[in-house]
Amino acid sequence: MNKCILAFLFVVCLFLSSIQLRAQRDSVLYSSQRYERISGASDLAIGRVRGFVPGDSITTVLRSEKAILEAQGDDFLYYRVLCDSILSVEIAYTFDEKKSLISIGIEFFESCKHSVTGFFSEEFSINLLHYYGESVKDETGFLQWKTANGVQIEYQKMKNDACILHTQIEFY
């Protein structure tokens, strides 16, 4: 009988310790592999996206960006990041006449049908809310935030009749 009680207490202790570990994990913001692949060396606290902030040179982006270069011009670079077999994300870098970065755009489409892994667009909005708190909604439907060092962020998710979610995020 004492062995049964000891075994029961042991199981209860294991259960309680697993609850504590889960609580510790839940306090840390979860990021999927898709999100990590897109955000790269981001530090949203200061508006750094994929390792870049407004003001970086076009040369810096060309030298450091690891995604697939799709197109380039005097004032833009378009990259594609393949997340998995069903999701790719376009990253657009826009530059001024001095070849300094003025905006970073992230755009992707995903099915709005139920997803086992969750919606990628929601992961971005959760992270933006985590770092910047409540947003302001502008007249065009974009949610907006501003970092402590002045970087503006706009986020919009739209759903069409074909059940496709179109998400746009811009840092400038």
Q: How would you list the strands of the sheet with 164-171, edge to edge? A: 68-72, 76-82, 88-95, 101-111, 164-171, 152-159, 143-146, 136-137
Task: Mark whether 78 and 96 lie in a shared domain.
Answer: yes
Question: Can you give the pLDDT of all 172 residues of the chain as single tens digits?
Answer: 565 554 444 444 444 443 333 333 333 455 677 777 777 777 776 678 888 989 999 999 999 999 999 999 999 999 998 877 677 889 999 999 999 999 999 998 887 765 555 677 888 888 888 878 888 888 887 889 888 788 888 999 888 887 788 889 999 9
Task: Mark whether 23 and 41 lie in a shared domain.
Answer: no
Whether 119 contacts 164, CB under 8 Å: no
Number of domains in the chain: 2
Domain that holds residue 144: 34-171
Task: Mark whether 24 and 38 lie in a shared domain.
Answer: no
Task: Mark whether 4 and 66 lie in a shared domain.
Answer: no
Task: Mark whether 64 and 1 lie in a shared domain.
Answer: no
pLDDT of residue 62: 97
Strand ranges in the chain using DSSP code E only, listed in sequence order:
68-72, 76-82, 88-95, 101-111, 136-137, 143-146, 152-159, 164-171
Task: Mark whether 131 and 46 lie in a shared domain.
Answer: yes
Task: Mark whether 48 and 95 lie in a shared domain.
Answer: yes
Task: Mark whether 24 and 82 lie in a shared domain.
Answer: no
pLDDT of residue 98: 97
Task: Mark whether 61 and 138 lie in a shared domain.
Answer: yes
Task: Mark whether 13 and 67 lie in a shared domain.
Answer: no
Task: Mark whether 14 and 53 lie in a shared domain.
Answer: no
Task: Mark whether 124 and 138 lie in a shared domain.
Answer: yes
pLDDT of residue 116: 53
